[in-house]
Structure 1
């Protein structure tokens, strides 16, 4: 008989969320061209009693925080890592929009590698569908 497997950090996080009675957490993913749709998804998921985490910056829209190209590239790397952390935190992922680019495709693969269920506002764009 093999020894019991230690709990992963994700297992411990999931258990702590259940024990604390934290509502289901949904990570919204998708191209930043769908920021308005992401806000609508946020509203609907929140109204349904779920906690929502989603991209907070649209690097395609002008802003002083990413006006410098070098700083913008460094920020993108940090934001990508932050979004992966949001996916790890989440219980499920909701992909918004009728287009899946490389970044969103990678986020979907990452979520699925963690065993997170993935929903789509446009199921026809599911890379596995």
Structure 2
């Protein structure tokens, strides 16, 4: 997983143009779902709930951990993972906010959260206790 790269000063005007275009088009809020692909069922449920709340939802479109002919070759799978990671960062740039699904955050999701926050995107969690910016209560540390 490549590490997040904040927008350069040259890219910021494009981001502002995108936000302005979305406002002019009166688009509903766009939510990108992030999380481990082990939570694909939970992502589908979150998609349903966000959609019925009137939001446009984008989320991971495939689970490389599940067998499929498109990524059955390890070399193809690795190249696809790189492309999918870049695609998901584009989804984060497109979105107005991020919804992190699941009670576990791995390296990829942690990187996506950091990227979203570097862009100033609000980040919500289905399980707020896993927020990397939300340290556990002192009582939990004492155990």
TM-score by length of 2: 0.86
Displacement after TM superposition at 1:53 (Å): 0.3
**CA–CA separation in structure 2 for the residues paired with 1:32 and 1:23:** 26
Secondary structure, in 3 states, of the residue corresponding to 2:31?
Answer: strand
2:56 alignment partner, one of 35, 51, 55: 51
Displacement after TM superposition at 1:8 (Å): 1.5
Q: Which residue of 1 aligns with 2:6?
A: none
4+ long deviations beyond 3 Å: none
**CA–CA separation in structure 2 for the residues paired with 1:95 and 1:34:** 10
What whole-Å deviation, never above 9, does each CA across 1:52-76 have from its counterpart, x for those lacking one? 0000010000000000000000000
1:128 aligns with 2:133: yes
Q: Which residue of 1 aligns with 2:116?
A: 111
Alignment coverage as a number of residue pairs: 125
**CA–CA separation in structure 1 for the residues paired with 2:80 and 2:34:** 18
Secondary structure, in 3 states, of the residue corresponding to 1:94?
Answer: strand
RMSD of equivalent CA atoms: 1.2
1:15 aligns with 2:20: yes
User: What are the equivalent positions in structure 2 for 1:48-87 lying under 5 Å apart?
Assistant: 48-87=53-92
Which runs of no fewer than 5 residues in structure 1 stay unpaired? none
Q: Which residue of 1 aligns with 2:140?
A: none
**CA–CA separation in structure 2 for the residues paired with 1:86 and 1:9:** 15
